[in-house]
């Protein structure tokens, strides 16, 4: 039930962003190159039962972005805890590189709502004795808004739904990610 609500929230946010009238945009930011550091709240969309706690967890990401007109292409690294079990003494963390294209739908004063997609690859790190690593492929989509603070600094408030495919018979799982980031224009 909760998974459906989260999925509907993400889809609703994307639809609302698309419904906003488009205007001519010179660029998402005043600088074509930028760096962004973000903190994340990660919410599993499935109940893992009594063994694994499915409560929200935390993560972070760092990305470099190149902006050209309404489009922006980012490449970076994400590290997010996706499950944990105090009883079993284990934690699962996605450690992945990613590519994230964005499209700015419109500009509303200092705000620029955008749509984004993400593809990534890396590992699911399971911390226990011994340490286990599975290959992981991630993909997803989301939406957000860039808010200009000063000419070279912007806040990024966004969310996305992503799926991690754990390979090797490990299955896949979906997650909703809420992001708050700080982007700094370089050039």
Q: What is the DSSP string of 84-137?
A: EETTTTEEEEEEEEEEEEEEE---BTTEEEEEEEEEEEEEEEEESSS-EEEEEE
pLDDT tens per residue across span 100-149: 999 999 999 899 999 999 999 988 887 775 666 778 888 999 999 999 99
Which of 144, 166, 173, 169 shows the shortest CA–CA distance to 157?
144
What does the buried/exposed string (b/e) look like for 54-82 if buried means 16 or more CB atoms within 10 Å of the residue's CB? beebebebebebebeebebebebebbbbb
Residue 137's pLDDT is 87
Topology of the domain covering 2-185: Porin (2.40.160)
Cα–Cα–Cα angle for 109, 147, 69, rounded to 5 degrees:
75
CA–CA dist 24, 159 (Å, integer): 25
Q: Is the dihedral of CA 44, 126, 139, 159 positive or negative?
A: positive
pLDDT at 83: 77
Which residues make beta-bridge pairs with 140?
118, 162
Region 33-51: mean pLDDT is 83
Residue written as token pair 């286990």? 132
Q: Specify the pLDDT at position 20.
A: 37
DSSP assignment letter at 7: H
Distance, CA of 5 to CA of 122 (rounded, Å): 28
Position with higher pLDDT, 163 vs 126: 163
pTM: 0.76
Do 181 and 156 form a contact (C-beta atoms < 8 A)? Answer: yes
Tokens 């749509």 locate to 115
Domain boundaries along the sequence of the chain = 2-185
Residue 40 · residue 160 · CB < 8 Å: no
């Amino acid at each position: 039930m909760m998974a459906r609500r989260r999925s509907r929230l993400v889809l609703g946010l994307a639809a609302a962003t698309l419904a906003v009238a488009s205007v001519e945009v010179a660029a998402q930011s005043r600088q074509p190159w930028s760096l962004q550091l973000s903190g994340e709240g990660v919410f599993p969309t499935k109940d893992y039962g009594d063994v694994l706690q499915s409560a929200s967890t935390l993560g972070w990401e760092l990305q470099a972005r190149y902006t050209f007109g309404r489009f922006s292409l980012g490449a970076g690294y994400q590290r997010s805890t996706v499950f944990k079990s105090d009883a079993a003494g284990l934690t699962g963390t996605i450690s992945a590189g990613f590519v994230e294209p964005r499209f700015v739908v419109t500009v509303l004063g200092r705000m620029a709502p955008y749509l984004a997609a993400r593809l990534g690859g890396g590992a699911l790190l399971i911390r226990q004795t011994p340490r286990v690593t599975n290959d992981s492929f991630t993909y997803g989509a989301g939406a957000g808004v860039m808010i200009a603070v000063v000419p070279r600094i912007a806040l990024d408030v966004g969310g996305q739904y992503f799926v991690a495919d754990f390979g090797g018979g490990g299955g896949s799982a979906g997650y909703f990610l809420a992001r708050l980031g700080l982007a700094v224009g370089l050039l």
